[in-house]
Structure 1
Amino acid sequence: MPAPANVPPRVRQSDPSEVLRRLDLVVRRRLDGLLHGEYMGLVPGQGSEQGETRVYAPGDDVRRIDWNVTARMTDPHVRETIADRELECWILADESPSLDFGTAWCEKRDLAVSAAAAVGFLTHRTGNRIGAVLAAPEGTQIVPARGGKDHLMAVLHRLVSATHEPDGRTDLAAALATVGGIARRRGLVTVISDFLDPPEEWQRRLAQVAVRHETVCIEVVDPREVELPSVGVLSLVDPRTGEVLEIQTANPKVRERYAAAAQAQRDAIAAAIRSAGADHLQLRTDRDWLLDIVHFVARRRDRLGDIAPHPA
Structure 2
Amino acid sequence: MTLTAFGDLELRVRRRVSGLIYGDNEGVRLGPGSVAEEIVRYQPGDDVRRIDWNVTARSMEPHVWRPRADHELETWVLLDETPSMAFGTDITEKGDLAAQVAGAIGLLTDGPGNRMGVARLTVDGMAYLRPLASRKAARRAVVTSDQPARDGVAEVDLTTAIDELSRRARRPGLRVIVSDLLGADGAIDRPFAWERALRRMAVRNQVVVVEIIDPRDLSLPDVGHLVLVDPESGRQREISTSDRRTRHAFDSAARRFRSDTTAAVRSTGCQHVVLRTDQDWLLELARFVQRWNRS
Q: Normalising TM by the smaller chain, what interval?
A: 0.7 to 0.9
TM-score (norm: length of structure 2): 0.79
Structure 1, gaps ≥5 residues long: 1-15, 53-81, 304-312
Q: Which amino acid aligns with 1:177?
A: D
Which residue of the partner structure matches residue 5 of structure 1? none
CA contact (8 A) 2:106 2:134 kept: no
Cα distance, 1:151–1:228 mapped onto 2, change above 3 Å:
closer
Any residues of structure 2 matched to 1:25-104 within 5 Å, and which?
25-26=8-9, 28-35=10-17, 37=18, 39=19, 41-44=20-23, 47=26, 85-104=71-90
Q: Which amino acid aligns with 2:11?
A: R
Which residue of the partner structure matches residue 270 of structure 1? 262
Write out the 4+ residue segments of structure 1 that deviate beyond 6 Å after TM superposition: none
State the 1:106 CA deviation: 0.9
Q: Does 1:231 align with 2:223?
A: yes
Aligned length: 252
Deviations 1:30-79 (A, max 9, x none): 222223x4x2x222566368969xxxxxxxxxxxxxxxxxxxxxxxxxxx
CA contact (8 A) 1:203 1:273 kept: yes
Any residues of structure 2 matched to 1:134-145 within 5 Å, and which?
134-145=120-131
State the 1:215 CA deviation: 0.3
State the 1:239 CA deviation: 0.8
Structure 2, gaps ≥5 residues long: 29-33, 37-67
Which residue of the partner structure matches residue 291 of structure 2? 299
Cα distance, 1:246–1:294 mapped onto 2, change above 3 Å:
same
Which residue of the partner structure matches residue 237 of structure 2? 245
Q: Does 1:24 align with 2:24?
A: no
2:118 is matched with which residue: 128, 132, 140? Answer: 132
CA contact (8 A) 1:127 1:147 kept: yes
Which residue of the partner structure matches residue 116 of structure 1? 102
> Aligned equivalents of 2:169 and 2:277: distance in 1?
31
User: Over alpha carbons, which structure has the higher Rg?
Assistant: 2
CA contact (8 A) 1:85 1:126 kept: no
Which residue of the partner structure matches residue 6 of structure 1? none
TM-score (norm: length of structure 1): 0.75
CA contact (8 A) 1:91 1:191 kept: yes
The more displaced of 129-138 and 193-202 is: 193-202
Any residues of structure 2 matched to 1:181-196 within 5 Å, and which?
181-196=167-182
Deviations 1:119-165 (A, max 9, x none): 1111123531111111111111122223253344233332224x542
TM-align CA RMSD:
2.2
Greater relative contact order (Cα 8 A, min sep 6): structure 1 or 2? 1
1:167 is matched with which residue: 134, 142, 152? Answer: 152
Any residues of structure 2 matched to 1:207-222 within 5 Å, and which?
207-222=199-214
CA contact (8 A) 1:95 1:136 kept: yes
Any residues of structure 2 matched to 1:251-266 within 5 Å, and which?
251-266=243-258
Identity of aligned residues (%): 35
SS in 1 for 2:170: coil
